[in-house]
Amino acid sequence: MACAPAILRFHTRKPNIFMGRRSEHSRDELRTLIIDAALELIKEQGSGSVTARQIAKSIGYTPGMLYAVFKNQHDIFLHVNLCTLESLQQHCINSCRNQPDPAKRLLLLGKAYWSFASEHTHQFDLLFARHESQDAEIPPALPVRVQALFALVETALVELLSPSDKDPNKDQVALAARALWSGVHGATELGLSDLFFFSPENSKTDAPNAAQQSEQVIDTLIQQFVAGWLATNPIK
Amino acid sequence: MACAPAILRFHTRKPNIFMGRRSEHSRDELRTLIIDAALELIKEQGSGSVTARQIAKSIGYTPGMLYAVFKNQHDIFLHVNLCTLESLQQHCINSCRNQPDPAKRLLLLGKAYWSFASEHTHQFDLLFARHESQDAEIPPALPVRVQALFALVETALVELLSPSDKDPNKDQVALAARALWSGVHGATELGLSDLFFFSPENSKTDAPNAAQQSEQVIDTLIQQFVAGWLATNPIK
DNA sequence: TCGTTATATTAAACAATGTTCAATTTAATC
DNA sequence: GATTAAATTGAACATTGTTTAATATAACGA
């Protein structure tokens, strides 16, 4: 292979990020362009009917380009989910930041979770949709954001037990927070699907709609859980 | 239109279900054939990758035939969901039919719900998947089955309060049952998605897997809820 | 028994989808 | 200004759900 060295010499050139670009946008700009466009389309139509061609067209590109930036469609949606999770987190934090009473704060958090889900149904659906495992890695920021959500609940639960003392069983608190919030999440899911099926005879003349039912179920769940939490954990 | 009556005469013949059949199967047999085939494929692959061609091929027919029996693919899946819901219901009933203690029964129900979901993940996913509204009507048997599931919880909650007395507030019981079961459902969903994200430092050297976590979360939720239920409702 | 009629099923087509990749355009480099 | 490498395209590919004209077949009437 006498010619190999001569050929390899050409490959030693340092690559440049801007080489050969045709558009105004850097790779990172393209990333956010794509994610924002996808998010917008999902808000309008739901993720199920958003196509690669739609996303590309809405930012003035060709579908093929998307695959130079993201691994596949599912990869794009994963990064949309990151945005959604961030919005959800902010919405929850804002809903209760001025409420010092931990029990009331939990109720506000529950209402916020439901209101976000019902006002951003398509985003919420995608966030918790369970596709069979695609070949795209979960962004590492996702677990962090979920934990941050749980932390809000954990704090409230700790405050409920000991407003002054600060030595709770962390394992127990983490478990309780996840149990309680699983409940709020489940009620939200069932509420969105309108799956409560209250017997008509049980309710009065004016049957509550799905949204009212959900809020009632969530409130009940939180109240009962808090009552149980206080009953089983004696105030130190 | 002098000829009209002559033509119309032919149309007065009574239609017969077996007219022109080429196969051994009646329309109803085809319905169950299709549903069973779809169910089997969903168990193996998950609904997301089951195609009309696969279903048709597995029962020795052509995809076009499916559309003479069902409105569309979503319609087929809805009827698969009916089977799934029936299995889930049976699984739950069987899990606790010999347990007289209502609190223990609720725990068994929770375990059963989780075990069904984790052993039939693909079916469970399809059952609660929230597609954007397709044009196929929900089978009327579905609400009935969901209510039957809630009834198991309602009964246990009533027994918890008054083992002998039988005059509970029905609205309150219905609400509490849905709240509690929303929780179990939510914990199941989050568990399947492995979204609990317990901080590693909180757990001991041997971190529990997703299944163990889910069962623990579900147990905690039920125990706390029951404690709250007993605390807020004085025994009559 | 033999056409006639109504149904059941097919086969082929359709438009739309996600994705790939050779070809092309463009910018940076020598 | 020629060369090199990256960015983007555009056309293709295999699949998908679904429709529909054509066909095969069973029941009916005489």
Residue A76, domain member (yes or no)? no
Pick from A45, A171, A229: CB nearest B202: A171
Among A204, A190, A70, A86, smallest CA distance to A146 is for A86
| DSSP3 helix / strand / coil % (chain A, rounded to 5) | 70, 0, 30
| Structural domain contains residue B174 | yes
Q: Do A144 and A211 fall into the same domain?
A: yes
Q: Is A66 in the same domain as A177?
A: no
Tell me, what's the pLDDT at A16?
62
pLDDT of A13 over the 50 cut: no
Q: Are the C-beta atoms of residues B114 and B218 closer than 8 Å to each other?
A: yes
Q: Whole-angstrom Cα distance, residue B172 to residue A110?
A: 20
Say if residue B114 is in the same domain as residue B52: no
B87 & B142 share domain? yes
- Residue A107 and residue A171 share a domain: yes
The token duo for B214 is: 């889910």
Query: Which nt sits closest to B18, CA to C1'?
Result: D26
Contacts of B132 in chain A (CB under 8 A): 45-46, 48-49, 122
pLDDT(A4) > 60: no
Question: Does the CB of B12 have a partner CB in chain A at under 8 Å?
Answer: no
**pLDDT, mean over chain A:** 87
Neighbour tally for B89: CB within 10 Å: 16
**pLDDT tens track for A168-216:** 788 999 999 999 999 999 999 999 999 999 987 544 556 778 899 999 9
What CATH number did the domain enclosing B57 receive?
1.10.10.60
- Given A6, A40, A70, the domain boundary residue is A70
Measured between beta carbons, the chain A residues lying within 8 angstroms of B122 are: 132
pLDDT, tens digit (0-9, with 9 covering 90-100), for B82-97: 999 999 999 999 999 9
pLDDT tens by residue, chain B, 236 residues? 333 333 233 333 454 555 556 677 888 899 999 999 999 999 999 999 999 999 999 999 999 999 999 999 999 999 999 999 999 999 999 999 999 999 999 999 999 999 999 999 999 999 999 987 667 778 888 889 999 999 999 999 999 987 655 567 889 999 999 999 999 999 999 999 999 999 875 445 566 788 899 999 999 999 999 999 999 876 54
Q: Do A131 and B48 touch (CB under 8 A)?
A: yes
Spell out which residues of chain B touch residue A232, defining contact as CB-CB under 8 Å.
223-224, 227
Look at residue B52 in the predicted model and tell me its pLDDT: 98
**Residue with more model confidence, A134 or B42:** B42
Mutate to test the interface with A, among B74, B197, B232 (most CBs of A within 10 A): B197
**Runs of H (alpha helix) within A50-169:** 52-58, 63-69, 73-96, 102-119, 121-128, 141-161
Confidence (pLDDT) at A157: 95
B32 and B88 together in one domain: no
Q: Are residues B36 and B86 in the same domain?
A: no
Alpha-carbon gap, residue A189 to A207, rounded angstroms: 20
Residue A128 clears pLDDT 50, i.e. is over it: yes
For B186, the token pair is 């939510």
Bases on strand D under 7 Å from any protein CB: 3-11, 15-21, 24-29
Distance from residue A56's CA to nucleotide C25's C1', rounded to whole Å: 19
Taking only the tens place, the pLDDT of each residue in B6-22 is 323 333 345 455 555 66
Residue A29 shares a structural domain with residue A107: no
B180 contact residues in A (CB cutoff 8 A): 183, 221, 224
Q: What is the pLDDT of residue B11?
A: 33
B187 is a domain residue: yes
Give the domain range for residue B50: 24-70
Distance separating alpha carbons of residues B97 and B203, to the nearest angstrom: 35
Give the model's pLDDT for residue A24.
81
Q: What are the tokens at B146? A: 């969901």
Contacts of B67 (CB under 8 A, 6+ apart): none
Q: How far is the CA of A135 from the C1' of C17 (A)?
A: 18
User: Do A188 and B189 touch, CB atoms closer than 8 A?
Assistant: no
**Among candidate residues B70, B100, B124, the one where a domain is terminated:** B70
| pLDDT score, position B163 | 60
- Does the residue B230 lie in any domain? yes
Give residue A23's pLDDT band: very low, low, confident or very high (50, 70, 90): confident
For position B18, what pLDDT does the model report? Answer: 58
* Count of structural domains within chain A: 2
- Residue B131 inside a domain? The answer is yes
Same domain, B36 and B87: no
CA closest to C1' of D7 belongs to: A21
pLDDT value at residue A153: 97
Q: Classify residue B4: in a domain, yes or no.
A: no
Considering A11, A40, A70, which residue would you say is the last residue of a domain? Answer: A70
CB contact under 8 A, B182 and A202: no
Residues 6+ apart with CB under 8 A from B222: B106, B107, B110, B180, B183, B184
Asked if the structure places residue B157 within a domain, the reply is yes
The CATH code of the domain that includes B141 is: 1.10.357.10
Q: Which of residues 107-166 of B touch A (CB under 8 A)?
A: 122, 125, 128-132, 143, 146-147, 150
Q: Could you say which of B182, B196, B229 has the minimum Cβ distance to residue A183?
A: B182
**Chain A residues 46 to 65 with C-beta below 7 Å from nucleic strand D:** 56, 60-65
**Which chain C positions have some atom within 7 A of a protein CB?**
4-12, 16-22, 25-30
Q: What is the DSSP letter of A18?
A: T
User: How far is residue B48's CA from residue B68's CA, in Å, rounded to a whole number?
Assistant: 22
Q: Are residues B177 and B222 in the same domain?
A: yes
Together in a domain, B137 and B61: no
Would you place residue A235 in the very low, low, confident or very high pLDDT band (cuts 50, 70, 90)? low
Regarding whether A46 and A123 lie in a shared domain, the answer is no
Quick: pLDDT tens for A150-173: 999 999 999 998 765 556 788 999
